[in-house]
């Protein structure tokens, strides 16, 4: 399902216009991005999804083409954890 299909499904299910559904989806994406960017707290939708910013330590790796060792600097990543309802839906 792509973004356009998701907006149409949200509009249909919530009985709102596609513009309203698009606005809500955009606002959610902005809030999720801001929360992850700050890294101070998790974004949790109970039973569905948890998003959190995690720290990745610096590490050594190898260039797969040349085999030369390279160093990858420390950085941040996003961890998404499925909630119980989402896990149940996948079964």
Which tens digit of pLDDT belongs to each residue from 10-68? Answer: 999 999 999 999 999 999 999 999 999 998 899 999 999 999 999 999 999 999 999 99
Instruction: State residue 40's pLDDT score.
Output: 87
41-91 architecture in CATH? Irregular (4.10)
At 78, the pLDDT band (50, 70, 90 cuts) reads very high
31: alpha, beta or left, given left = phi > 0 and alpha = psi -120 to 50?
alpha
Cα atoms found within 13 Å of the Cα of residue 39, Cβ hemisphere only: 8
d(Cα 21, Cα 14) in Å, to the nearest integer?
A: 8
């Amino acid at each position: 399902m792509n973004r356009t299909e998701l907006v149409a499904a949200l509009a249909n299910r919530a009985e709102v216009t596609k513009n309203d559904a698009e606005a809500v989806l955009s606002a959610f994406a902005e809030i999720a991005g801001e929360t992850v960017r700050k890294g101070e707290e998790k974004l949790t939708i109970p039973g569905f999804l948890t998003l959190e910013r995690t720290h990745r330590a610096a590490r050594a790796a190898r260039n797969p083409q040349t085999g030369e060792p390279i160093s990858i600097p420390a950085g941040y990543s996003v961890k998404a954890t499925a909630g119980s309802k989402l896990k149940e839906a996948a079964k």
